[in-house]
Structure 1
Amino acid sequence: MRTEFTAQIKKLQLWTAETAVLVAVSTGADSMALLDLLAHLPANLRPKINVVHVNHQLRAASTNEAIFLTDYCAAHGWPLYQTKWPLTAHPAHGTEAAARQFRYDYFAQVLRQQQIPLLLTAHHADDQLETLLMRLARGGDVQQLAAIATERSFHQAKLVRPLLPFTRQQLRAYVTQRQLTYFDDVTNQDTQFTRNQIRQQIVPVLKQIQPLAAEHAANYAAQLQRLLRVNQQQMDQVLIENGQFMATGYRGELGKWQSLSSDLQHLALDQLMTRLMVTQGIEVSQAQKGEIRQLLQGPRAQAGLDLAAGWQLTKSYHYFTIAPAPAPIVAATVDLMPGATCQVEQWQITLQPVSVTGGTDVDSIEVWLAANELPLQIRHRQPGDRLPLRHGHQKIKRILSDKKISQQQRERLWLITTQQNTVLWLLGVKKSQLFNPQQTDKIHYRITIKK
């Protein structure tokens, strides 16, 4: 097996004799085989071995295993980093997932503190088969059927599984031939855990039907991973051609998106959700993706959909955005007295008598105002708001619709009104056209806006 393992390491080309690696060792047969295989690589391929071990304190034998590994590493001159999972941190339910989280958090800590670039684990072809079956039964994205990748990023380092081409049987034969000491984890026989149930009850049946089931699963997973890598590159290009990634989120051109074939829409949306949300640990169900596709293809000019973890899809006329939902609007009214200036978001608003000279770099409107119309109010729009024009009024809602301003933007627009709620200015959109000649009971004012 050493020859095949050496060929696998040459193929991966992930380290040299100068590279430090951190090997996760449980003292089971698989991880002990990995340690021995690494130690017997040719000198030009043999990395600098560091070992990491977590005593989960779930079994009485854990203490003896930790003592054995301490002596074993000392005998070989390998640095050993180990810790215990505190009993007080053990949850009442979900022990397996919690133990894995603690274990990998500790691995990340050691990698960071020791500045080691590679973490090696002893996952093998049978693990791949079990994972594939679990994910097939659970359902979800096709990416999940790629199961365990040979290598992937892990915090600031890389996680590598060099034993994936090899089966559990091959590794057991190797440790037996080498007469290596290892410890069997008795909890691996507990069929209350889904993986153990698959391992003990389903995989043996599959191997009776096809003895090479594990090898075939590893081969299928490798093929699927290659297809997915190519697909991701191509779908990234589709997304760039049909929209743009923002600092947080994505803005797409609706017409271009709708012109894509149904298959392209499915694949591009999968990649978009992966980039925006799944990589952040946010799950997006197939049902929710179906809702997104239906909304984007539907006839409504404006629509919205709440997604997981505070994300939101907003469709507005020619565009759609997928981004974290904006903070809720706090209803507020700002009073503006003559001679005063106030700041409302990006707007600097001033009210002065016309006799006071204004700057040349500001936008303005002139009005005649009576004392009872002051102070002016700066507020968000309300139902029924109308903008005075020279011949009548125009509903604010109609103005926003004509200008195709999205619902999200509408909710954040500011208006300047009198105390009688006469709208003088819809900021950033349109001014009133008051036929307001000089009047003896009113004062001539200029409202100026500067961004």
Structure 2
Amino acid sequence: MTFLQRFRQSLETLYTLPPEGRYVVAFSGGVDSHVLLFACQRLGLPVRAVHVHHGLQAEADDWVVHCRAVCTELAVALTVLNVDATAGAGQSPEEAARDARYAAIADDLCAGECLLTAQHRDDQAETLLLQLFRGGSSAGMAAMPGCRPFGRGVHLRPLLDFSRHEIEAFAAESRLEWIEDPSNLDTRFDRNFLRQQVMPLLRQRWPRLAAQLANVAALQADNRQVLDNMAAIDLADSVITPPVLQLPLFHDILSVLAISRLQQLSHARRMNLLRYWIRLNLKTSPSRKLLQEIESALIHVRSDAKPQLQFNGYAFRRYRDGLYLLQPAITAQDEASLVGMSFSWRPGVQKQLSLPQAGIMLQAVTTEAGGLRPELMQEQLTLRFRQGGERFRPQGRAHSQQLKKLLQEAGIPPWERNRIPLLYCGDTLIGVAGLWAGNDAVVANGEPGWRVRMQPL
């Protein structure tokens, strides 16, 4: 089977392109991506190229010129994307460049398009070893997948079954001309050190090393899929929907797991579920240390404990039988500022009221039957937030109760309670937004009224 025949087979095995779809080759100008683009063009596939200008090398502008010339010769459209690849805190230059590159390409990708990148078998072997040296997880040991969701489409690596030698031989046979990135020789970077100094030594002892490591990665990918399948089953049995999730105010709650169910699982199975749950919601893999902290600080503690853990700006908290995963909604400073804050609102004049400090917008909505009395819409109402000690009599209740007790009864987690707007007419609490109307402020049965609708900002 020829190189091009193997390449076509690899593409078709990985993914079926939609009828109106197109391949997008990430084209650096190096030998691997040149072969990838050339193979697509030779096979008559619908393809365009995208080149990312990182601005990190003095030759970067020359590489753009080279890529334009190659694409003109191949009659392939080229898009050049300029990015800022400055490394952030705790980020290596390699990571910063990769993240900026993929983010730019994801934004450029159209629906139905399929990104192709040129990683090959030797790259796969290096990735596996790097993951091993860094103490990577089983997902990391699976190295690079051949196909994964990406942007508005998918990301394929159709050269993973090809060696570097095969690619370079095909490039020479096809008389391709490519550029060499001098940074690839800089052994201060881990991958370059591995490629230039470690792999040659290992290959002297084990000539088939790259193929064998790629096979290990493939086996790990299969194992990872089995673990993910098991985690999906456990997730379906463990995820719960407390009533609080039905309220727009609490849009910061991403997902909730039943702690009683987690406690029934074995340690390994529980870790597998938590890892899958976090990856599914946050699109990043948690460290083993974080999983152990979640287990010790949130799962194996008293049900009335109120610890929380932070991870990448997100939070894990426990309330009753729920393990909550929370996304940032408002800052702690904004939440603290709500105490003692008040807003004037005349719903009959101003239908909507934005409360950025609480991360919500309120809207007065008329109802055909039930709700607050219509004349209250013309009053100068006041919105406040909990300060403690409030009493309230919801519609249908015989007596007033402490608001704290009512919120507990409704299953509202403690950290969410201070963000709930309280609606006052004068000094009388007439409604708790999104939850209750006051018994003395509602219409008679069957009469039209109005209510407060909440939406996240």
- Compute the displacement of 1:362 (Å): 7.9
Separation in 1, partners of 2:263, 2:269:
10
User: Is the Cα contact below 8 Å between 1:18 and 1:48 reproduced in 2?
Assistant: no
Shift of the alpha carbon at 1:253? 2.3
Aligned residue in 1 for 2:160 = 164
Give TM-score scaled by structure 2 length.
0.69
Q: Note if 1:308 corresponds to 2:304.
A: no
What is the DSSP-based 3-state SS (H/G/I as helix, E as strand, rest coil) of the residue aligned with 1:108?
A: helix
Whole-angstrom CA distance in 2 between matches of 1:116 and 1:414: 44
Structure 2: stretches of 5+ with no match in the other structure = 246-250, 344-352, 354-360, 373-382, 393-400, 444-450, 452-457
Match of 2:132 among 123, 133, 136: 136
Q: Tell me if the contact between 1:312 and 1:322 (Cα under 8 Å) persists in the aligned partners.
A: yes
Match for residue 21 of structure 1? Answer: 23
Alignment of 1:291-370 (within 5 A): 291-294=293-296, 295-324=298-327, 327=330, 328=335, 330-332=338-340
Q: 1:98 to 1:255 in 2, by over 3 A?
A: closer
- In 2, the alpha carbon distance for the partners of 1:331 and 1:61 equals 57
The aligned residue for residue 200 of structure 2 is: 204
Deviation string, structure 1 residues 176-215 (Cα, Å, up to 9, x no partner): 2333222222211101112111111222233223222222
**Which letter maps to 2:109?**
L
Whether the 8 Å contact between 1:125 and 1:214 is mirrored in structure 2 is yes
Q: Structure 1 residues 147-156 or 133-142, which shifts more?
A: 133-142
Are 2:281 and 1:276 aligned? yes
1:121 aligns with 2:129: no
Relative to structure 1, is the Cα distance of residues 56 and 334 closer, same or farther in structure 2, using a 3 angstrom cutoff?
closer
Aligned length: 395
CA distance, structure 1, for counterparts of residue 391 and residue 46 of structure 2:
75
**Do 2:14 and 2:147's aligned partners in 1 also have CA atoms closer than 8 Å?**
no
> Matched residues in 1 for 2:402 and 2:198: separation?
68
- For structure 1, the residue ranges without an aligned partner over 5 or more in a row are 336-343, 349-359, 364-376, 388-393, 418-422, 432-445
Structure with greater Cα Rg: 1
SS where residue 244 of structure 1 aligns?
Answer: coil
1:244 corresponds to: 240
Deviant stretches of 4+, over 6 Å: 360-363, 394-405, 412-417, 425-429
Give deviations 1:326-351, integer Å, cap 9, x for gaps.
6425213779xxxxxxxx999x9xxx
Give the AA of the match of 2:386.
H
Q: Which moved more, 1:242-251 or 1:155-164?
A: 242-251
CA contact (8 A) 1:302 1:406 kept: no
Instruction: For 2:66 and 2:410, locate their aligned partners in 1 and report how far apart those are by CA, in whole Å.
Output: 74
- Partner of residue 216, structure 1: 212
**Conserved in 1, the CA contact under 8 Å of 2:315 and 2:327?**
yes
Q: Is the 8 A contact 2:294 2:309 kept in 1?
A: no
Indicate the residue corresponding to 1:380 in structure 2: 386
CA shift in 2, pair 1:227/1:333, >3 Å = same
CA distance in 1, matches of 2:216, 2:269: 23
Structure 1 residue 300, shift from structure 2 partner: 4.1
Cα 1:84–1:386 change in 2 (3 A) is closer
Q: Secondary structure at the match of 2:141?
A: helix
- Once the two structures are overlaid, the 10-residue window that deviates more, 102-111 or 185-194, is 102-111
Q: Secondary structure at the match of 1:158?
A: strand
Residue 238 to residue 181, structure 1, CA distance change in 2 (3 Å): same
1:59-95 Cα shifts (integer Å, max 9, x gaps): 455444443433332233222223556xxx5648854
Deviation at 1:109, TM superposition (A): 4.5
Q: Is contact 1:125-1:164 (8 Å) kept? A: yes
Q: Give the alignment's TM-score, normalised by structure 1.
A: 0.70
Structure-2 change in CA distance of 1:24 and 1:416 (3 Å) = closer
**Counterpart in 2 of 1:408?**
415
Partner of 1:380: helix, strand, or coil?
A: coil
Q: CA–CA distance in 2 between the matches of 1:219 and 1:102?
A: 30
With over 3 angstroms needed to count, the CA separation of the structure-2 counterparts of 1:398 and 1:120, relative to structure 1, is: closer
Alpha-carbon separation, structure 2, partners of 1:274 and 1:181: 41
Q: Distance in 2 between matches of 1:382 and 1:321?
A: 24
* Paired position in structure 1 for 2:106: 108
Residue pair 2:106, 2:151 contacting (<8 A) in 1 also? yes
For residues 30-84 of structure 1, the C-alpha deviation after alignment (integer angstroms, 9 at most, x for no partner) is: 122223333343xxxx412322223445445544444343333223322222355
Matching of residues 57-76 of structure 1 within 5 Å: 57-76=55-74
Contact 2:86 2:97 in 1 (8 A): no
| Offset of residue 244 of structure 1 | 2.9
